[in-house]
Structure 1
Amino acid sequence: MIEAEWWEYDDADEMADAVAGDIGFIVESAVDARSECLLAFPGGSTPAPIYAKLAEKKLPWKRVTIIPGDDRLVPVDDEMSNIRAIAKAMLPTGARVYPIAIEAEDYTMAGHAADARLKDLKWPPDLVWLGMGTDGHTASLFPGPDLENAMDAPKARLAMGIMPDPMPEEAPVPRVSLTRAAILSARTIIITITGEEKKAVLEQAIADGQSSKLPIGRVLAEAEFPIDIHWAP
C-alpha cells in the first residue's frame, strides 16, 4: 500500500509558501548534518512560483547543489530546458546548479552521460521533488520503449535516456531522467500538483498501488516511506 500524506491549499501561492518552507527546512537540516545538500527539482510550470519563494530565503545556498530530476535534450538556452528554468531562479542565490543533459550522438548515450555526471555527486539526494502530468508520467518516466528499463534499473544506475511514445505535444523531444531506483533512494520525496484532473489521476494511482499502470503509481508503489503530496486547485 502506498503511504501518502496530502496537503491541500486554497491556491498556488499558498502552496508555494508551504513547499518553499519545507524545502528550506530540508536544506538547513542537511547542511547541519553533512555540511552540504543535494536537491533534485522538477520541470514544468507548477514549480516556478515555488522556485521564486525559495530563492528569497536566506539559506546556506553555497553548500547546496541542485539538479533537474529530468531534462529535455535541447540546448540549455531553449525554453523547453528544465535546467534553464532552475538556473534562472536559483543561480542568483549562490547555489550550484548542475546540468545532467549533455549533447550526445543519441538519447541513449545522453542517458549514459547523465548517469556518469550524477555519479560525481554525493548520492543519495536529500530531496527528490516530483511533478506529474495528466497522463501519470513523473520526471520523464513516460510510456515508451525505455520505460521498463528505467523502472527496473539497478540501484547503481541513476539516470537513463528516455524516448516517450507517444511524444508529448508540449515538448516532443527525447529526455534524460532519474531512474525509479534513483528517485526512491532520496531521503525525502515530495510531489506538487495543481488542478482537479491531476488530483484524480494521482488518487487513482495511489488506490491502485502495485497494480497501477501509470508511471507515478509504479514509482510510488515501491517507496519505503510516506510521500508528502502538495495540491492546489
Structure 2
Amino acid sequence: MIEAEWWEYDSADEMADAVAGDVGFIIESALDARGASLVALPGGETPKAIFKALAAKKMPWKQVTIIPTDERLVPMDDQRSNIRGIAQTFIPAGARVIPITGDIADYKLAGNSADARLQDLPWPPDLVWLGMGQDGHTASLFAGPDLQGALDAPKARRAIGVMPDPMPEDAPVARVTLTRSAILSARTILITITGKKKRELLEGAIEDGQSSKLPIGRLLAEVDQPIDIHWAP
C-alpha cells in the first residue's frame, strides 16, 4: 500500500509558500550532509509560483544542481521547454541548471543522450518533485507504446525517450523523461497538484495501484517510501 500524506491548502499561494519551504529544507539538509544537492523539478504551470518563492530563499545556490524531471523535444528557447522556465528562475539565483536534451530529433536517440548526461551526475537525487496532468501522466510517463519501457527500464537507466499516444494537445511533441527506477531512487518524492478533478484522479490511481490505467498509478505502485502530496483547490 502506498504511504502518502496529503497536505491541503486554501489557495495556490499558500501552497507555494509551504512547498518552497519544504523544498528549501530538503536542499539545505542535503548541503549539510553532503556539501551539494541534486534535485529534479517539474514543468507545467503549477510549480511556477513555487519556483519563484524557492529561488528567493537565501542559500548557497552554487552548490545546487537542478535537472528537469522530463523535457519536450523543442528548442530550449521555446516556451514549451521545461528547462527554459527552470533556468530563467534559478540561474540568476546561482544554481547550476542542466538541460537533459540537445539538438537531437530522434526521440529514442535523445533519450540515450539524456541518460548519458545524467550518468555523469551524483545519484540519487535528493528530491524528485512531480506534477500530474489531467490524463494522469507524470513527468513524461504518458500512455502509449513507450510507457512500459519507461516503467520497466533497468535500475541503471536514468532517462528514456517517449512518444505519447495520444499526443497531448498543449504540446504534441516527443519527450524525454526520467525512468520509473530513476524517479523512485530519489531520497524524497513530492507531488503538487491543484483542483478537485486532479485530486480525485490521483486518489483513484493510488487506490488502484498496479491495476491503475494511469501512468502515475503505475509509477507510485512501486514506491517504497512515504510520499508527500500537496494540494490546493
TM range (shorter): over 0.9
Report what 2:121 is aligned to: 121
* Secondary structure of 1:210's aligned partner: helix
Runs of 4 or more above 2 Å deviation: none
TM-aligned CA deviation for residue 205 of structure 1? 0.5
* Secondary structure of 1:228's aligned partner: strand
* Secondary structure of 2:92's aligned partner: helix
TM-aligned CA deviation for residue 210 of structure 1? 2.1
TM-aligned CA deviation for residue 140 of structure 1? 0.3
C-alpha offsets along residues 20-63 of structure 1, whole Å, 9 cap, x if unaligned? 00011011100110000000000000000000000110011010
C-alpha offsets along residues 163-210 of structure 1, whole Å, 9 cap, x if unaligned? 000000000000000000000000000000000110010000011122
Matches within 5 A, 1:1-233: 1-233=1-233
TM-aligned CA deviation for residue 105 of structure 1? 4.0
Unaligned runs of 5+ in 1: none
Unaligned runs of 5+ in 2: none
The whole-number CA distance in structure 2 between the counterparts of 1:198 and 1:59 is: 33
Q: Percent identity?
A: 72
* Secondary structure of 1:206's aligned partner: helix
* Secondary structure of 1:143's aligned partner: coil
| Alignment-mate amino acid for residue 197 of structure 2 | E
C-alpha offsets along residues 71-126 of structure 1, whole Å, 9 cap, x if unaligned? 00000000000000000111111000000012214000000000000001001000
RMSD of equivalent CA atoms: 0.6
Contact kept, 8 Å, 2:69 with 2:139, in 1: the verdict is yes
* Secondary structure of 1:92's aligned partner: coil
TM-aligned CA deviation for residue 2 of structure 1? 1.0
Contact kept, 8 Å, 2:73 with 2:105, in 1: the verdict is no
* Secondary structure of 1:53's aligned partner: helix
| Alignment-mate amino acid for residue 22 of structure 2 | D
The whole-number CA distance in structure 2 between the counterparts of 1:75 and 1:32 is: 36
* Secondary structure of 2:91's aligned partner: helix
